[in-house]
Every structure is written in structure tokens, then in C-alpha cells.
A = this chain, B = another copy of it.
Amino acid sequence: MYVLIVYDVGVERIDGVRQFLRQYLTWIQNSAFEGELSEGQLERVRARLRELIREDEDSVIIFTASSKKWIRREVIGTEKAEVSTIL
């Protein structure tokens, strides 16, 4: 299924969250990742995020759609794709 995750976490936890999400999803913006995950993968992502964040302070919102076809996506400005793997 299509998954979009946006997060707002304490600065000391950002690197951990980002490094973890990068294993499953594509970084699309400062605080957003997207990609295709199975239900099992999403369950692992959910479980690990609960360990990585402070649930009383941080916020992670997971949007899912059964298929990407239900969602239109447009970019205004630059497409900030992850360049670290290209460079």
C-alpha cells in the first residue's frame, strides 16, 4: 500500500527517526517520507517508531491508501529528492 509519513520530533531524535525510515521509504521533504509498504512492513515501522520517539512530546502521522491511484501528488517549487545516495 502507499504510505506517507510526516513527523515532528525533538531535534535529538530526528536523526534516528530519519535513518530508520530511510530503510523502508523515500525521503521526500525535511519531515516527510513516502513509499510502498506491505501491511507487515508497516507494522514493523509503527512498532519501531514507538520506540524511537517520545510519545508524550513527538508526533508522527501515518497516512495510508490501498493504492497510489487514489492520491494525486503535485510539487510547487523544487522536488527535494534525497541526493545523498546520488552524490
A: interface residue count bin: 35 or more
A66 and chain B: residue at smallest CB distance = B70
A44, CB-defined interface residue at 8 Å: no
Report the minimum CB–CB distance from A18 to chain B (whole Å): 13
A4 contacts partner chain B, Cβ-Cβ < 8 Å: yes
A79 / chain B contacts, CB cutoff of 8 Å: 59
| Residues A65 and B65 in contact, CB atoms below 8 Å apart | yes
- Would B64 and A71 count as touching, CB distance under 8 A? yes
A60→B76 contact, CB < 8 A = yes
Q: Does A77 contact B (CB under 8 A)?
A: yes
Interface positions of A (Cβ within 8 A of B): 4, 6-9, 28-32, 46, 49-50, 53-66, 70-80
